Structure 1
């Protein structure tokens, strides 16, 4: 992909960045996304039917597209792809060849299809009117009424077991309970009674006379099937099946002598219990039925999917709640049905890709008008998707300026006024390091964790503001861990511009720490991100005064003053302040003594960054404030500040240090 292709991509974001749409070709956008970023993918690709003569439907997506989707998804992530009965076999082969594992094929039965059949008898009549041949072929056609669509369910190969994959990557399972088929009745699940347990936790199998069965009451509905219906199909099925009632059955009385197949003698084992559902109706009650809605009002897209169906499918592959956002990728997003359904189902971040600007605008309109819509107070009371939590957070009072607050930085950043922060300087918790003092972030989740809190900061940062992140990856079995690299790529994929990488040089750092088989570690990275390629910077704010600022002179061979001095320029000394270098020399010894915090950095380092990247009197944020070094530097420079930290003891420490400092604005009460 060349730069011209990249420049053709235009990205649209929601105000809170819950959704984004990349306006560009799927083949062009996917390579720009980070590795292992998404927990799932759901989409309606071209079917290769040349539908209504549209160019976009001439061919199925190539295998390379599904390889790219595999790359950007986490191990264990699920893929849901709509298909057509004529071509889904080829679609499935391409998905499988890309490395996905086919798990199932769902069948969506709908009654809206129209038979596109050719009447053979009529054609013969035009050639041979009133002939015997035309009469013989009367009533013969060439196609059946389309009444079902396949939905391919595939999974990226997991790592180790389902449980291992779920614990490590936070995805890899189907949410069965949330997708059960609703019923007014209930059922029971009967379990063989367990063996007694010994003190060490093992089973005591010497008790051959164990008896009884445990009975679990289930009122959540029937197990979801791989057959899905719309209301028209459900009505037709009920007409054909007729009315029926499911009765609860009764097991043998408890006095019966039965065996369990493992014992030498019979014993009284059964408790009197019932199982089955006590409900009534047509056969459609055994399957999920998507409610009909007027999705097509104002929507001219030719292949709109029902919103309820999209919501149900998105909920099926939605992972459990966690600290980092759950992300869904929707290539070929069209008019946005899958995106709206996913947001309604509870996905935290949804990314769409669509090349046609008409449908991007339609999707934006639908997302803006439906994603956060609540009809009444009762629904607001019971509705719990992430979007409503964001609204409730926004209703909380904003943190006071020049204060240190305790809490999750994502929640607190959301409450800041828009465009209120000029510069964020912070050193977030490193992956799984110092986790005895701070909550650890697994390496696999670190990119999502960082993108999450940075996304909250997007609207709070001024248009020319910057974010400076002090971090360094650790060695893992003698090799540099890649979580920082993956985090940088994930932030770029989100839309942040990485303007430069600075170095904090610690001339006295690394003594007595690190591997003896590696050189002394005497620097850390400072990652510089902004919303723009041209953020605020004062390149000379921390520069040194010099009498040899530059070399100017007469031109030589017509090349002018840009010719280097060593190539023959005559030197003309000039006094002034030099530009700061991208290597900042601050010894570790500059750290304040006697402060009990595991990861302090020197106040002079924070001062250097604030002077360079914040305008005079600007507002500085540290979302992981720790002992408050950044806040102290901001206060001493006369800047406003906000400080957040999740650890109460460090918030109190930072408040005390700020209170003891006499420079700058007073700490807010």
Structure 2
């Protein structure tokens, strides 16, 4: 296996019990979002089977997010899940976990109930979200309602277009009397502001040898899509403020051939890892999925343990590990999107 990335196949609740206490410097993970619609009605073991209906919508919805059964259940919402993660995380260690805007609160409460300290909510904003809307007027037509009734409800629906994905940033309580003492004792307790600072292109450099000026990192990131860019003001110099928060959505290179439906962009995963741990540290992803956390960690010289239960995603991860073994350098797959604004910088400035 790669010296930097290790796969632990199996149920994360069981695999977590095999790690020693206070083992990991940080955790970065993208757990199931549990986006249930009619799952509560048809998805329980004792419930009647879902009726397919004319368009098959009930059958699809009862299979959770994008037809994936792994997104059902409530593992992300259980304090005992995160208590197991808490045990293997070093005191002062940070955990960053994605979730959906509609279900984020359930995970956030579970994290706190497990004993983790809530430090911040980060927002990854994008313009290409697809709403799973239920247009009322269209279904009134199917019910045979009058034109007057249909027109009354024209334009009414059930959901907004998703444009924001929240990320919980939490910390295991300190075991030392101060953050400074914790940093000295375990190398954890603080976040790396310098490594995650945003490039500031407004300040000119005297030469190319000078370091790129930076702005203090914020809790907002976005994908660079035109819909998002249009919401940011443009300064007198013609540059948009959006360039300080830019992180493109997952590209083909980010996916590495994986069919996983929720692959995260490498630039975003690298930014999160750099925020919470230094090079040489060891992180955990208890919901390995496509392996995005592992590949980002390898790019940064960070060790990563991935836990994954599904055989098809285990195969993706093993293929990626094999790729890492067969190349001297991990490729950079965090290039900006082609529709980026002129002068827009990604989260990672060029090295100097």
Q: Is the TM value for this pair above 0.5?
A: yes
Q: How does 1:405-444 map to 2 (within 5 A)?
A: none
CA distance in 1, matches of 2:223, 2:114: 32
Structure 1 SS opposite 2:87: helix
The 3 A distance-change label for structure 1 pair 175 and 369 is same
Aligned residue for 2:293? Answer: 338
In the alignment, which of 326, 348, 372 is matched to residue 281 of structure 2?
A: 326
Q: Identify the match of residue 239 of structure 1 among 221, 225, 230.
A: 230
* Structure 1 counterpart of 2:318, from 364, 367, 385: 364
Of the three residues 180, 197, 220, the one matched with 1:180 is 197
The unaligned stretches of length 5 or more in structure 2 are 36-63, 205-209, 333-352
Alpha-carbon shift at residue 33 of structure 1 (Å): 0.4
State the partner residue of 1:57: 71
Q: Which residue of structure 1 aligns with residue 10 of structure 2?
A: 24
1:495 aligns to what?
none
Q: 1:290 to 1:177 in 2, by over 3 A?
A: farther
1:230–1:292 Cα contact (<8 Å) kept: no
Please give the alpha-carbon distance, in whole angstroms, between the structure 1 residues aligned to 2:293 and 2:275.
Answer: 13
Residues 442-480 of structure 1: CA distance to partner in whole angstroms, max 9, x if unpaired? xxxxxxxxxxxxxxxxxxxxxxxxxxxxxxxxxxxxxxx
Cα drift, residue 140 of structure 1: 1.3
TM score, norm. by length of structure 2 = 0.77
Q: Give the aligned partner of residue 101 of structure 2.
A: 85
Compute the displacement of 1:297 (Å): 5.9
| Aligned mates of 2:194, 2:256 — CA distance in 1 | 33
CA-atom RMSD in angstroms: 2.2
- The worse-fitting range, judged by mean Cα deviation, of 303-312 and 74-83 is 303-312
Tell me the secondary structure at the aligned position of residue 160 of structure 2.
Answer: coil
Distance 1:367 1:296 in 2: 14
Distance 1:136 1:224, change over 3 A: same
Question: 1:199-278 to 2 correspondence within 5 Å?
Answer: 219-232=212-225, 235-245=226-236
Residue number in structure 2 paired with 1:417? none
Q: Which residue of 2 is the match for residue 507 of structure 1?
A: none
**Structure ID, larger Rg:** 1
Residues 374/18 of structure 1: CA separation in 2 closer, same or farther (3 Å cut): closer
Deviations 1:1-60 (A, max 9, x none): xxxxxxxxxxxx32xx32111000001100010111100001111112221343321123
Q: For the structure 1 residues 375 and 285, does the alpha-carbon distance in structure 2 shift closer, same or farther, using more than 3 Å as the test? A: closer
CA apart distance, 1:238? 3.1
Cα distance, 1:307 vs structure 2: 1.6
RCO comparison, higher one (Cα < 8 Å, 6+) = 2
**Contact 2:199/2:212 (CA < 8 Å) preserved in 1?**
no
- Give the superposition deviation at 1:346: 2.9
Aligned to 1:351: 305
Structure 1 distance, partners of 2:186, 2:32, is 30
Residue of structure 2 aligned with 1:162, choices 164, 174, 179: 179
Deviations 1:238-278 (A, max 9, x none): 32445313xxxxxxxxxxxxxxxxxxxxxxxxxxxxxxxxx
**CA 1:286–1:89 in structure 2 vs 1: closer, same or farther (change >3 Å)?**
same
Structure having the larger proportion of residues in strand:
1
Q: Confirm or deny: 8 A CA contact 1:70 1:98 kept in the other structure.
A: yes
Distance 1:130 1:355 in 2: 51
Aligned-residue offset at 1:292: 5.2
Contact 1:224 1:288 in 2 (8 A): no
Tell me, in whole angstroms, the C-alpha distance in 2 between the residues paired with 1:372 and 1:65.
Answer: 37
Return the offset for 1:285.
Answer: 2.2
Match of 1:68 in 2: 84
Give distance in 1, aligned partners of 2:211 and 2:330.
30
Per the TM alignment, residue 127 of structure 1 is displaced from its structure 2 partner at its CA by: 2.1
User: Is the Cα–Cα contact under 8 Å of residues 63 and 95 in structure 1 kept in the other structure?
Assistant: yes
- The answer for unaligned runs of 5 or more in structure 1 is 1-12, 188-216, 246-278, 377-669
Query: How far apart, in 2, do the equivalents of 1:36 and 1:43 lie?
Result: 18
Decide which of 282, 292, 309 is 2:240's aligned counterpart.
282
Partner deviation per Cα, 1:587-632 (whole Å, 9 max, x = no partner): xxxxxxxxxxxxxxxxxxxxxxxxxxxxxxxxxxxxxxxxxxxxxx
User: Helix, strand or coil for the counterpart of 1:351?
Assistant: strand
1:281 and 1:59 map into 2 onto residues whose CA distance is: 45
TM-score (norm 1): 0.42
Residues 23 and 354, structure 1, Cα contact 8 Å, conserved in 2: yes
